[in-house]
Structure 1
């Protein structure tokens, strides 16, 4: 049986480690709307999470919002 909680915690920690490395660095900021921004760090962490999900669950569909 798949332990979704264990998997989710591991991926969240990995993404957190990646995000910590971006602290105190300049970021590329893009605007998705008038007041809705997304940073390079947002995209990097989202890409990592999606990659890990597809590695473990290749048949799952993903709808993501960084």
Structure 2
């Protein structure tokens, strides 16, 4: 049986490690709407999370905040 919680926690920690490395650095900021911004760090962490999900669960569909 797949332990979704264990997988989710591991991926979240990995993404958190990536995000910590971007603290106190300049970020590229893009506007995805009139008042909605997305940083390079947002995209990097989202790409990592989506990539890990597809590696483990290639048939799953994903709805993500930053992706189009």
TM bucket, shorter chain: over 0.9
The one-character-per-residue Cα deviations of 1:7-31 (angstroms, maximum 9, x if unpaired) are 0000000000000000010000000
Give the total of aligned pairs. Answer: 66
Tell me how large the CA RMSD over aligned residues is.
0.6
Deviation at 1:45, TM superposition (A): 0.1
Could you tell me the TM-score, scaled by structure 1's length? Answer: 0.97
**What runs of 5+ residues in structure 2 fail to find an aligned partner?**
none
Deviation at 1:34, TM superposition (A): 1.3
For the residues of structure 2 that align with 1:46 and 1:38, how far apart are their CA atoms?
11
For the residues of structure 2 that align with 1:41 and 1:63, how far apart are their CA atoms?
18
